Structure 1
Amino acid sequence: MEKTTQPESVSSVLKVFSILQALGEQKEIGVSELSQRLMMSKATTYRFLQTMKTLGYITQEEEADKYSLTLKLFELGAKSLEYVDLITLADKEMRYISEQTNEALHLGALDENAIIYIHKIDSNYNLRMQSRIGRRNPLYSTAIGKVLLAQRENDFIHQILSDVKFIKHTDKTLENEEQLLAELTLVREQHFAEDNEEQEPGLRCIAAPIYDRFGCVIAGLSISFPTIRFDEKRMSYYVGLLHKAGKNISEQLGYNNYQLK
């Protein structure tokens, strides 16, 4: 296996997954046996095992040359399945709102100190928001980011924003944590959040939370409008659509106390 024509980075990835697969097939295994099975040198095998141990994916028996998998891979898989279920449930609700408004819909989740879009439905208009699944945006300047933070304790918010620089994307972007915390108080009261040209000039977004069975906000669902198409008189209608969708999705995830405005 070490005599490969693959680039070194690709070869390393193949070795990592070969080790994981071998450990998955056998509860515990020693360095010598593993290196022989995978046709890698003992030194290389040991180096990979120690790195994977540091990252928390495998564990080593004290004072023994035996390694086994931890539950970290299971945790990653469980998160992936949760998002698959969430996306499937959200897609139906998002398509309904799309039919009613013809505007762009986004489903976003917390990813470290930012939001990440995990599903979207594009607007049917030529003039529309440009986005992609997997794109990250700041928490402080997006409607989804605000609903993801609103139910958190201030200590958590302070910690997650500790390395975040508040960049003025537009004249309306919040400038600091203090301003954000003040707005989050309003988000908690009204149970939805707004991005009023804070992330992009000419773009307005409204978002509502989605809860898991434990009552934790795990995602935000938003409608995005160019400001020239946004009708302030229909705000309650837009919020109602989002709340109904959020309630339906949350109930299917096991949460039955969704707050409607």
Structure 2
Amino acid sequence: MSTRETVQSVTRAAAIIEAVVSEGGIVSLKTIAEKTGLAAATVHRLASTLVETGLLRQAPGREYVLAPTLMWAGGAAQSVTKRWAVPILQQVVDATGETANLAAREGDKIVYLAQVPSPYSMRMFTEVGRRVDLHCTAVGKALLANREDSEVRKLLARTGMRRYTSSTITSPDEFITELDTARKNGFAGDESEQEEGVRCVAVSHGSGRSAIAISVSGPEARFTYDKREGAAQTIASAIAASPFLPPD
């Protein structure tokens, strides 16, 4: 087997694991094929290898399930993430007074990886591990702003654009315009698009599967529109000063 074939197999195996994770840890072969774009025969061959190596299990109903080994690895990864992320998020909270979150893309969703809450009693709270849509969050927009418009349109067609509030963007054309604004400003915003009365700004770092986004969110009455740019600059400065994140 050539080096290229070996790398391709690893990439495809990683895509299969990501598909299983994005579906909550248990998924059929058909769904994996649909989410990865791989042929069913290819999925079966690679998934069988992952079962043999102990990374996946096959349930009685023939679905593929994350094996305990990967669950343990996920817990260890979360612990390491918190170790480097919390100091960055705390710096952002100290400067803005609002809740700071770390998020990354997982398949067609955003997953929250770490959070430091605002010291105020009225504050935003997002459960770590929660998965949400990309189109209605500042972190989702910040990450999608780094992708080609054609890729974004395919994602929106695949996932739909569910309306969560009266402010949720549900038009692909309007969403692309929103991404253009984010690219120009260097940060993305969420104006009550997922939750009424909540304002959020986010800045992304990195590219590809390793890209992350850090956000600041708070009630609109306190985290006013004129504070958005300052909050985004605070996030960017915290990212740049972190010894754990390489230069973008």
- The one of 176, 179, 200 equivalent to 1:205 is 200
Give the partner amino acid of 2:235: L
Match of 1:97 in 2: 92
- In structure 1, C-alpha distance between the alignment counterparts of 2:191 and 2:76, rounded to whole Å: 33
One-letter amino acid of the structure 1 residue matched with residue 128 of structure 2:
I
Question: Mapping of 1:101-140 within 5 angstroms?
Answer: 101-140=96-135
Partners of 1:204 and 1:224 within 8 A in 2: yes
* Residue in 2 that maps onto 1:19: none
The alpha-carbon deviation at position 109 of structure 1 amounts to: 0.9
Tell me if the contact between 1:205 and 1:224 (Cα under 8 Å) persists in the aligned partners.
Answer: yes
Q: Secondary structure at the match of 2:203?
A: strand
Q: Does the 8 Å contact 2:105/2:211 carry over to 1?
A: yes
Q: Distance in 2 between matches of 1:76 and 1:149?
A: 28
Q: Matched residue of 1:220: which SS?
A: strand
CA pair 236-130 structure 1, distance change in 2 beyond 3 A: closer
Q: Look up the SS of the partner of 1:163 in the other structure.
A: helix
Within-5 A mapping of 1:97-246: 97-211=92-206, 218-246=211-239
Partner of residue 6, structure 1: none
Task: Please say if residues 210 and 247 of structure 1, whose CA atoms lie closer than 8 Å, have aligned partners that are also in contact.
Answer: no
Taking the aligned partners of 2:221 and 2:236, their CA distance within structure 1 comes to: 24
Q: CA deviation at 1:84?
A: 5.1
How far 1:79 sits from its partner (Å)? 8.0
TM-score with structure 1 setting the length: 0.64
Q: Kindly provide the CA deviation profile for residues 237-258 of structure 1, in whole angstroms up to 9, marking residues without a partner as x.
A: 2111111122234x6333x2x4
Distance 1:191 1:221 in 2: 13
Superposed CA deviations along residues 60-85 of structure 1, whole A, max 9, x for unmatched, are xxxxxxx9639999999988776655
Distance 1:107 1:172 in 2: 23
The answer to whether the 8 Å contact 2:143/2:213 transfers is yes
> Partners of 1:161 and 1:83 in 2: how far apart?
28
Residue matched to 2:10? none
Residue segments in structure 1 that go unaligned for 5+ positions in a row? 1-51, 60-66
Q: Shift of residue 231 of structure 1?
A: 3.2
Q: TM-score, normalised to structure 2's length?
A: 0.67
Q: CA distance change for structure 1 residues 75 and 151 in 2, over 3 Å: closer, same or farther?
A: farther
- Distance in structure 2 (CA, Å) of the matches to 1:242 and 1:180: 23
CA RMSD for the aligned pairs?
3.2
Task: Using the TM superposition, give the Cα deviation of residue 221 of structure 1 relative to its aligned residue in structure 2, in angstroms.
Answer: 0.3
Paired residue for 1:8? none
The aligned amino acid for 1:202 is G
In structure 2, runs of 5+ residues without a counterpart are 1-42, 57-66
Counterpart-to-counterpart distance in 2, 1:107 and 1:232? 21
Letter in 1 for 2:47: G
CA distance in 2, matches of 1:201, 1:178: 23
Distance 1:217 1:56, change over 3 A: closer
CA 1:126–1:77: 2 relative to 1, 3 Å: closer
Pair 1:58-2:58 in alignment: no
Of 228-237 and 188-197, the range deviating more from structure 2:
228-237
Cα distance 1:201–1:93, how it changes in 2: closer, same or farther (>3 A)? same
